[in-house]
Amino acid sequence: MKIRYATMDDAQNIIEFNRAMAFETEALSLDLNVLSKGVTTLLNEPNKGCYLVADIDGDIAGSLMVTYEWSDWRAKNYYWIQSVYIRPEFRRQGIYKKLYQAVKQLAADNNGAASFRLYVEKDNVTAQQTYQSLGMKPCDYLMFEEK
């Protein structure tokens, strides 16, 4: 398995992964046109973030997106991990762990990180256990939103 930066050739896999993840975790059907635009925009604009993929002999087993949030308090970026998806037949094989290690290496290569953050559905206990097993902890912040 090789963890690598996604390229435009990976866009269709990432789009499908995002659709599957949204449906599995929130029973949400994403608009394909909007999702396609979102994925390709990030792939074309690396200042917004990047996708990492787990490539097994040319087969993409999973991916995640990393975006950056500047912290003036810490003079470093927070690394936000988003859109995590591992294909069902590859789950529970340590693929997310390797992707997460690659995110940490990416940060180390770029002046470090204030911290690594992600969102997880309140009811997604399996994902929460995975994140905790890798040293992540629930934070003290509540999230607010206006749509």
Measured CA to CA, the distance from residue 44 to residue 20 in angstroms comes to 23
Q: 113 pLDDT exceeds 90?
A: yes
Average pLDDT, integer, range 94-108: 97
**Would you state the pLDDT for residue 33?**
98
Model pTM score: 0.93
**Would you state the structure tokens that stand for residue 103, as one six-digit string?**
């995110």
**Would you state the pLDDT for residue 138?**
93
**Would you state the pLDDT for residue 143?**
87
Measured CA to CA, the distance from residue 42 to residue 35 in angstroms comes to 11
Q: Give Cβ neighbours of residue 130 (< 8 Å, ≥ 6 apart).
A: 96
Per-residue confidence band for 30, with pLDDT thresholds at 50, 70 and 90: very high
Task: For residue range 43-72, list pLDDT tens digits in order.
Answer: 999 999 999 999 999 999 999 999 999 999
Domains in the chain: boundaries:
2-133
Strand runs (DSSP E) across 2-143, as ranges? Answer: 2-5, 49-56, 59-71, 76-86, 115-118
Q: 136 pLDDT exceeds 90?
A: yes
Q: What is the CATH number of domain 2-133?
A: 3.40.630.30
